[in-house]
Amino acid sequence: MRDLSIVFEGAAGQGVQTITKLLLPVLKNCGYHVFSCTEFMSRIRGGSNTTEIRVTEKPRQAYVFRIDMLFALSPMAHEHLDRRIDDDTLVFAESERCALPAKGNCIETPVKALALEAGSPVFSNTVIAGMVLGLLGVPLEELDALLRDRFHEKGEEIVLKNITAARLGYDWGRNCPAAGNIDLPHCDSDGSPAKLLMDGTAALGIGAIAAGCNFISSYPMSPSTGLLTFLAEKADAFGVVVDQAEDEIAAINAGLGASFAGARAVVTTSGGGFDLMQEGVSLAGMLELPIVIHIGQRPGPATGLPTRTEQGDFNLVLHAGHGEFARVVFAPGTLEELVRLTQRAFAVAHRFHIPVFLLTDQFLLDAETSMEAGAIQRFPLEEAIVETAEEYLPYRFTEDGLSPRGVPGYGKGLVRADSDEHSEAGFITEDFEVRRRMIEKRLARIGPLREQALLPTVTGLIDNARTLVVGWGSNRGVIEEALDLLGDPHVAGLHFSQLFPLNPAVASLLGERKLIVLENNPTSQFAGYLAIETGKNIAGRILKATGEPFSVEEVVEALRKEVGHE
C-alpha cells in the first residue's frame, strides 16, 4: 500500500480537467486524502497538458515525478512524458489516438468505443473517470451522484448517458487485468465525508471574503486571475465591488482611491503586471493607505512562461516602489495558510495603513487538496475607520506614527491625501522639518511590524536538528514530504510564511545549524535576504527555475546529497 500517482494527459480543450473534477470529489468523499496539480501550455487548443492526482496515505501537498497510472490522450503524450514513464508505469492509451510509448506497461484502452456506446464521444471523460474507479476498486455510487448533480440542468437524458458512460468505463476497469496490481492507500473514512476540497485560488478567495474584502480592481493575468473571477462570482452575495481595469496601473490606483474612500481593497496580478503597479505601491506608502496586493508568481523575465510556476518575485516586491516606507510580505504554503494569511494581510494593511503583499504561484493556486473543514478559521475584523471631527488631520503626528484613519463623507472633517510630501493636514509642503518627521512617522511602524511578524513553521524536531531545510511559500508541502521520507531526526524543516519583515527571534531559532534553502528561483532570493538579516551562513541551496514545481523525488535526492546520506 503506497501512495498512488495518476496522471491524465491531453491536449488543451480536450477536457482533462473534467476528469479531475469528477474524480477528486469522489475519492475525497470515499475518505481518501487527495492532492492534484496541473501543468499546462499557454495555448487554448492543442499541445500537451497534464493533471496529476495523488491518492495518499497522509495528507500531502506536493508534486511527484513518478507516474503509477497514466492516461495518455493526445499524440504528444509520449514526447511530453517520456522521462516520467518507467517500467512500472501503467499506460492507458488508445493506439488510434496516441502512439504508445516504448516504455511502461501499455494497455490498449477503448475510451472512444465506450463513449460511443454511451451515445457520443463527448462522454469520453466520464468513461475515463469510471475506468479509474473500476481499476482502483472504488465504488461507483459516489460518481453517479456527482454526475447527477453536475448535469441535472442539462436534463435527464444527459445525466443517464453520463451514468452509462461511467458504468461502461467502470466495468472495463474492473475487468482489466492490471486492476489486480493496483494498491490503494489506506482509506481513513469514518463514513462522514466532512472534508473539504479546494484549490489555492478558492482558499485565497475565501480568505478575502472572510477579511471583509469589498473591492477588487484588476487586469487579468495568469495565474492570478482566479481571485478576480472568484470575487466576481461572489460579488452580489458578499457585496464586493469588482472592476476590470484597463491596465494594472489603473487597477492599483483605483484600489487606492477605493481604500481612501474606506473600502477594503485588493488587487491581483502576476510579476509582469505588478511591474506596472509599482508606482501605486509607492503611492500607498506615501498616502498611508491600506491595500492588499496578491501576486501569483510565474517565471519571468518579461512574458516568461505564462502558465508555469516560479518563486522569482520576492526581490521585486521587497524593493517595489521608490522611496522608503513600510510593507509586509506573506507567502502562504497551504490552503489553511492561504485562508488565514489572506485575512492577516488585510488586518495588517488596515492596522498599519500600508501595502501588504501575498506571494503565491501557479503551482499553489491551481493545486487542489482535500482538507479538514476545521482548518478554515475566520477572525474578527478590527475597527479601522474613525468619524472625523472638524479639525481632523489625516496625517497627525502620533507616538506610533499611525494617525486615526478618516474617510471622506464620514464626520465633520475633511480628508486630504497628497502624493507630494505633505503636512499633517495633507497639503503639499517643502518644509524640511515636516519632511523629517513624516519620514519618521511612516517608518515608525516597522518596529511593531517586526515584533508581530509570524515565526516560521517547524517540521520535525528543531531541538534535535543539526540541519534546517528552509523554504517559503508553495514549497512547504514538498519539503515536509521529503523530510518525512528522509526520516533523518537531525534534519528539520523551517517554512517561512512571512518573508518580510522578519521577526527578530528568527536568528536565534536558526541558531548555529546548517542551513539549506530550497527555492524555486535561480538565485535563492529569500536566502540572500535571510543571510543579511540574520548574519547566518547559507550552507546549501536547492534551486530550480525550469517552470515546474519541485518534485518530492528530486528534493529527497538533493537533501540526501546535502546531508551526506550518499
Interface stretch with other proteins, choices 40-48, 51-59, 413-421, 520-528 (CB under 8 A): 413-421
Asked if 381 interacts with other proteins (CB under 8 A), we say yes
Q: CB of residue 420 vs other proteins: minimum separation in angstroms? A: 7
Q: Please pick, from the candidates 183, 188, 420, 451, the single residue that binds other proteins as defined by CB under 8 A.
A: 420
Q: Burial of 194 by CB count in 10 Å (0-12 exposed, 13-18 middle, 19+ buried)?
A: exposed
Please tell me the number of Cα atoms within 13 Å of 338 on its side-chain side: 29
How near is the Cβ of 126 to other proteins at its closest, in Å?
Answer: 22
Q: Rounded to the nearest whole angstrom, what is the least distance from the CB of residue 406 to other proteins in the complex?
A: 10
CB closer to other proteins, 386 vs 556 = 386
Please report whether residue 274 would count as binding other proteins according to CB under 8 A. no
Q: Does 198 bind other proteins (CB under 8 A)?
A: yes
User: In angstroms, what is the minimal distance from the CB of 75 to other proteins?
Assistant: 35
265 binds other proteins (CB under 8 A): yes
Residue carrying the nine cell digits 460518481:
143
Q: Least distance from C-beta 235 to other proteins, angstroms?
A: 8
Under the binding rule (CB under 8 A), the answer on residue 80 touching other proteins is no
> How near is the Cβ of 282 to other proteins at its closest, in Å?
8
Distance from C-alpha of 228 to C-alpha of 221, rounded to nearest angstrom? 10
Q: Does 23 bind other proteins (CB under 8 A)?
A: no
Question: Does 245 interact with other proteins (rule: CB under 8 A)?
Answer: yes
Tell me which H or E stretch contains 151.
helix 141-151
Q: Out of 5, 48, 225, 259, name the contact with other proteins by CB under 8 A.
A: 259
Residue 412 makes contact with other proteins by CB under 8 A: yes
Return the C-alpha cell found at 10: 491531453
Q: Report which residue type is found at 380.
A: P
End-to-end CA distance of the chain: 27
Residue 126's Cβ-count burial label (10 Å; 0-12, 13-18, 19+) is buried
Q: Which stretch binds other proteins (CB under 8 A): 160-168, 243-251, 301-309, 359-367?
A: 243-251
Considering only 113-121, 260-268, 347-355, 445-453, which stretch makes contact with other proteins by CB under 8 A?
Answer: 260-268
Stretch that binds other proteins, among 81-89, 163-171, 190-198, 504-512 (CB under 8 A): 190-198
Nearby residues of 154 by Cβ (< 8 Å), 6 or more positions away: none
- Cα separation, 430 vs 423, in Å, equals 9
Does residue 465 interact with other proteins by CB under 8 A? no
Helix (H, G, I), strand (E, B) or coil at 342: helix
Report in angstroms the alpha-carbon separations of 517 from 240, 318, 358, 471, 523: 39, 19, 20, 6, 11
Q: Does residue 238 bind other proteins (CB under 8 A)?
A: yes
Name the grid cell of 19. 476528469
| Residue placing its CB nearer to other proteins in the complex, 162 or 369 | 369
Beta strands 4-12; 46-56: pairing state: antiparallel
150 counts as binding other proteins under rule CB under 8 A: no
Which residue, 77 or 283, has its beta carbon nearer to other proteins?
283
Torsion sign over Cα 560, 563, 565, 566: positive
Q: Does 251 bind other proteins (CB under 8 A)?
A: yes
Binding test (CB under 8 A) with other proteins, winner from 263, 354, 470, 515: 263
Site residues for other proteins, 279-318, by CB under 8 A, read: 279-280, 283, 287
Cα separation, 47 vs 10, whole angstroms:
8
Residue 224 contacts other proteins per CB under 8 A:
no
- Least distance in angstroms from the C-beta of 136 to other proteins: 22
Select from 86, 88, 141, 247 the one that contacts other proteins (CB under 8 A): 247
Examine residue 416 and tell whether it contacts other proteins (CB under 8 A). yes
Q: Considering only residues 424 through 463, tell me which ones interact with other proteins, judged by CB under 8 A.
A: 426-428
Q: Collapsing DSSP states into helix, strand and coil, what is residue 35?
A: strand
- The answer to whether 172 and 134 are in contact (CB under 8 A) is yes
- Pick the closest to residue 522 from 271, 311, 316 (CA basis): 311
Alpha-carbon span 481 to 399, nearest angstrom: 46
d(CA 256, CA 217): 10
Number of residues located near other proteins, criterion CB under 8 A: 68
Distance CA 252, CA 283 (A): 10
Q: Which is nearer to other proteins, 38 or 49 (CB)?
A: 38
Planar angle of CA 276, 280, 285, nearest 5 degrees: 140
- Whole-number minimum distance, CB 444 to other proteins, in Å? 24
Query: Which of these, 449, 407, 399, lies nearest to 426 by C-alpha position?
Result: 407
> Which run of H or of E encompasses 32?
none
- With contact defined as beta carbons under 8 Å apart, do 70 and 81 qualify? yes
Select from 127, 254, 483, 494 the one that contacts other proteins (CB under 8 A). Answer: 254
Q: For binding to other proteins (CB under 8 A), which residues are involved? A: 193-198, 202, 206, 209-210, 212, 214-215, 217, 234-239, 241-243, 245-247, 249-251, 253-265, 279-280, 283, 287, 373, 376, 378, 381, 385, 407-420, 426-428
